[in-house]
Chains A and B, each alone.
Chain A
């Protein structure tokens, strides 16, 4: 956490071009720390307090349950981090040259650790868990106009997260947790009534 924070504040002092991004990353980290404190306070586990002493911000071996994530999305910590915006709106990809590569990176997490300096919106916040029950998070990635899952070129998700997102959305639709416009079915009445009417005549 410390070196990362130092780096962040260093860049702040320099006021480089993407200082806004750095600010945001810092706020994500802060919000996460608050969420962690909120989450671990009632648990009072000896292991967790030990982890609290020297938390590694890049460690992703600890799996967060969905229920926690659902609570996090409603919490004040989430609100201070993201405000009213979507999880992905403030995220910017880092790339060489004018144009971003067509595909995003394969994965942000390798061997249980964040292996990149600019992890995707889902990977950077470990409290965002992609699951079919976490509808509030999934809704942020569905277009209100076409009802489709937004492309990774827009949201900046890494390929692995994007795959998990599409699977979760499909599962949620299957369970009826997310509504969508069902294709219109036109009935041919004669298929159900035709024969009997003929008999009457």
Chain B
């Protein structure tokens, strides 16, 4: 009897252990899931590549009212000036440059590992003091990454400071505006971050991330991966469009082969050239043997870059009504020009090719979106041609 009881007890313990193991396994799974969302190799060469940068910038777009939205900063005073047309044009150019600067993407780099680098071991200095000493070079004009920071340990070894100490010392002597010396509660409490994400405060979280963490820190990668994953589920991509985080987001999706939701969103909003760019970016990252370059160059010839478009939008208020005013009016009423229709045709072909290939995961959804867009486009084209004919523009 006794043995039986003990056996039972043992069994119970085993069961308990099993339970513990199960939870541990599920935890490990979750961790793995997180790990799978990390860059497995250095993404930097691909990200800084000129072509990738161009693609990402084009996908980001440049909506002036979004870039220069009213910010709630302590000083948001405005200046009113009288200007000649030439001066105004110059000012417009500067505005575009400023917008480009505001859209600078946070760098995508690998997680930096802490390496121990001992300068010298001096056992004679052991127990000289019971605390560590940190020496920081605070020479003016040095970059934060170049600054020499060393630590003298209590046992007498002199070594370069670990990354965490470096960050704290840099923040102490050369504070970055907006960065806290402690971790904000938003990033330490998962439920608070989850709440932010559920309320779709993506831009706020990402902005705060850029200020609080360095791009090579593990936290930066984890949190941004979390935000992007949540965004992929809520599909509110438009919130990040024309912000500095759109490029890294698209790069992240392309890297992890989950571009389909973003692609669907782009097709639905009639940003077909962006969809082509996204597909070619993913082809480029995964080295798929599809020649996308000729199509991209064709599209480039037909579509202005975001900066050019923004500049044209600014300059449009200066223009006098030209002789082909009716044609222009038709174009603005429909929202598309002949070039746009041509570009759409090319890009639709490319997108359909992608949907047909094995890389697309949500084929049915994408196909439906493409179909509806095709119908709408056809209607617009007919309307465009009809209007042109009615106004007698076609002859010219």
Q: Footprint of B on A, CB under 8 Å?
A: 143-148, 174-177, 179-189, 191-193, 196-197
Q: A174-B186, A175-B186, A188-B143 are in contact. Are A146 and B74 (CB under 8 A)?
A: yes
Q: In whole angstroms, how far apart are the Cα atoms of A176 and B102 in the complex?
A: 23
**Complex: chain A residue closest to B206, CB-CB:** A182
B104 near A175: Cβ-Cβ < 8 Å: no
B211 near A183: Cβ-Cβ < 8 Å: yes
**Complex: chain A residue closest to B196, CB-CB:** A176
User: Of B48, B74, B207, B210, which one neighbours A148 at CB under 8 angstroms?
Assistant: B74
A-B contact pairs, 30 of them (CB 8 A): A143-B72, A145-B72, A146-B74, A146-B76, A147-B73, A175-B185, A175-B189, A176-B186, A176-B193, A176-B201, A177-B192, A181-B71, A181-B72, A181-B73, A182-B178, A182-B210, A182-B211, A183-B177, A183-B211, A185-B177, A185-B178, A185-B210, A185-B211, A186-B101, A187-B104, A191-B144, A192-B215, A193-B44, A193-B109, A196-B45
**Complex: chain A residue closest to B74, CB-CB:** A146
A146 near B107: Cβ-Cβ < 8 Å: no
| B side interface size, CB within 8 A | 39
Interface contacts beyond A143-B72, A176-B204, A189-B48: sample of 14 additional A-B pairs, CB < 8 Å, sorted by A: A175-B185, A176-B195, A180-B72, A180-B204, A181-B71, A182-B211, A185-B176, A185-B210, A187-B107, A187-B215, A191-B144, A192-B215, A196-B45, A197-B48
B178 near A192: Cβ-Cβ < 8 Å: no
Kindly provide the distance from the CB of A131 to the nearest chain B CB, expressed in whole angstroms. 14
Main SS class of interface, B? loop
A174 near B185: Cβ-Cβ < 8 Å: yes
Q: A176-B192, A176-B201, A196-B44 are in contact. Are A182 and B207 (CB under 8 A)?
A: yes
Q: In whole angstroms, how far apart are the Cα atoms of A193 and B211 in the complex?
A: 19
Q: In whole angstroms, how far apart are the Cα atoms of A184 and B106 in the complex?
A: 11
**Complex: chain B residue closest to A188, CB-CB:** B143
Q: In whole angstroms, how far apart are the Cα atoms of A197 and B107 in the complex?
A: 14
Q: In whole angstroms, how far apart are the Cα atoms of A146 and B207 in the complex?
A: 18
Instruction: Point out which of A146, A182, A184, A186 has the most chain B C-beta atoms below 10 A from its C-beta.
Output: A182
User: Of A144, A182, A185, which one neighbours B204 at CB under 8 angstroms?
Assistant: A182
